[in-house]
Amino acid sequence: MSQQRRIVPRPLRPRRPGSGSGPMARRRAIHASEPAPADRPLDAIDHNTAMLLAQTDGLDNPLHVEWVISRFLPCWGEEPRGFDMEYIESTTHLIIDELLMTDDERALLALRGLEAVASGRIAGQARDAAAVVAVGGVTLAPWAVQIGQAQAVDARVMRNDEDDSQGVMVEYAYPDGECHTLAAFIADDMGGAVKFMGLTKSLAEAIPGDEELPLRPIDPHEAQRLIRDALEATDQVHARFEGDPSMREFGALAWSRVRE
């Protein structure tokens, strides 16, 4: 299966003057003058917030925003096994609060991405915070409306003759017509879990016309069901800490596309 494991990010641009620096400066002044509570990992919250702001600065396409958020989230689904969701949700809520206080375009992009890619309470909190930032006057470029709006338009499957392993490729299109393909290798020897994933161009570009590959067309909804079932069968703790790096990159993104 032709695949591309990473999207090469655009170079980060220097921060623009006035892009939320006032609220952040006030916040840091308060923290500098008051002892931090022992039960709040301020350094971790600050680090992760700064990371999201840096990675959303200068972006110009919805897929890149969704990919950044997918890398940020440690797991996918409503109740992933093996993760302390109470801690993850409470920590992410603090990060969302920081994005809300930052109150600029980068923060709004991160919030829209969390709304689209995350699940459950995290998505709801991000949606509410994004609404507050938008009402406050922060606007995004027209392309940002497409975050989370990609729809499956085509799909292919490649099956292994020796077992039940299969490769599934689903092509997605945004409202403006831009396409990309999400690929998942479902391993029979892992109980039907996803072993690795890829993100590449449209199917027409990803599959050379002069190369005979054992791929056959499949209904996009059926292809998404195959990936959804495989992601549900995936040991997310193993995928994150011991599995292929592509699972940490695209697991949450894939789930946001195929969930019911």
Tens digits of residue pLDDT in 169-218: 999 999 999 999 999 999 999 999 999 999 999 998 887 665 667 889 99
Query: Domain residue spans in the chain?
Result: 21-145, 151-258
pLDDT on residue 28: 43
Grade residue 11 by pLDDT with cuts at 50, 70 and 90.
Answer: very low
**Mean pLDDT in the chain?**
85
Residues 43 and 233: beta-carbon distance below 8 Å: no
Q: What percent of the chain has pLDDT over 90?
A: 72
**DSSP assignment, residue 142?**
G
pLDDT of residue 184: 98
247 versus 77: which is more confidently predicted? 247
Residue type at position 141: A
What is the model's pLDDT at position 22? 45
Helix (H) or strand (E) holding 246: helix 245-258
Q: Using CB atoms within 10 A of its CB, is residue 15 exposed (0-12), middle (13-18) or buried (19+)? A: middle
Tell me the C-alpha distance between 255 and 107, whole Å: 23
Is 34 strand, coil or helix?
Answer: coil
Q: Could you tell me if residue 257 is left (phi over 0), alpha (psi between -120 and 50 degrees) or otherwise beta?
A: alpha
| Cα–Cα separations (whole angstroms), residue 10 to 17, 27, 42, 121, 144 | 20, 29, 29, 30, 16
Q: Quote the pLDDT of residue 160.
A: 86
Positions of E strands within 190-240: 193-200, 216-217
- Residue 25 confidence (pLDDT): 43
pLDDT in tens, 153-167: 999 999 988 899 999
CA distances from residue 152 to 117, 175, 230 in whole angstroms, order as listed? 16, 11, 17
Element at 181 (helix H, strand E): strand 179-187
pLDDT in the model for residue 127? 97
- Tell me if 47 sits within 8 A of 95, measured CB to CB: no
pLDDT at 79: 82
> Rounded to two decimals, what is the model's pTM?
0.81
Name the residue with tokens 């999207």.
7
Q: Is residue 42 very low, low, confident or very high in pLDDT (cuts 50, 70, 90)?
A: low
Q: What is the pLDDT of residue 21?
A: 43
Residue 107 and residue 206: Cα distance in Å, rounded?
33
Residue 59 has pLDDT above 70, yes or no: yes
Using DSSP's 3-state secondary structure scheme, residue 226 falls into helix
Side-chain half-sphere exposure of 112, counting CA atoms within 13 A: 26
Contact 228, 220 (CB under 8 A): no
Q: Does residue 24 surpass a pLDDT of 80?
A: no
